[in-house]
């Protein structure tokens, strides 16, 4: 059952990533779920909103609004979370994160695990493909380097 939900919600996160790509932004999507139900979904909005912290996970959490607790939620993300998003996951006490891929960006999986977060890496071809398509453009490669704070 959990595996089916993981595929379902990662699929929604991937659809969000595709929306981000179609909007001219970074194709990274995220979903927050509770008890097998969708709480919120979002995608990276850095380019569209000119907001340096509008990563996919942050957009999703903003759309979820205030939650009394996150300790019964699962966060799905198409790409391994950066330190900012990983810190937010730990701060909010999100106990489980399902990651689509960590090939494009290794993120902070070890940090999450060291802080008690259960991490499942799906190694999903769809998540890899959307990033490959995005990064095939030299202009997008520059946007990507800005997103991950590299020159």
Catalytic residue numbers? Answer: 57
**Bridge partners, 75 (sequence order):** 32, 97
Residue reference for tokens 């380019």? 47
Listed residue (106, 93, 98, 90) closest to 14, CA to CA:
98
Beta-strand ranges (E) seen in 27-148 are: 29-34, 37-43, 73-79, 96-101, 118-121
Dist CA 111 CA 134 (whole Å): 27
């Amino acid at each position: 059952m959990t595996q089916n939900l993981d595929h379902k919600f990662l699929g929604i996160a991937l659809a969000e990533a595709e929306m981000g790509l179609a909007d001219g932004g970074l194709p990274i999507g995220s979903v927050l779920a509770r008890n097998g139900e969708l709480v919120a979904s979002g995608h990276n909005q850095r380019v569209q909103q000119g907001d340096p912290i509008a990563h996919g996970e942050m957009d999703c959490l903003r759309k979820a609004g205030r939650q009394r607790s996150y300790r019964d939620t699962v966060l799905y993300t198409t790409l391994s979370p950066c330190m900012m998003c990983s810190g937010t996951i730990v701060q909010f006490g999100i106990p489980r994160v399902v990651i689509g891929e960590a090939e494009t960006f290794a993120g902070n999986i070890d940090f999450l695990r060291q802080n008690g977060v259960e991490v499942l890496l799906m190694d999903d071809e769809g998540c890899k493909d959307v990033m490959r398509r995005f990064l095939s453009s030299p202009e997008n490669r520059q946007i990507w380097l800005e997103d991950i704070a590299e020159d």
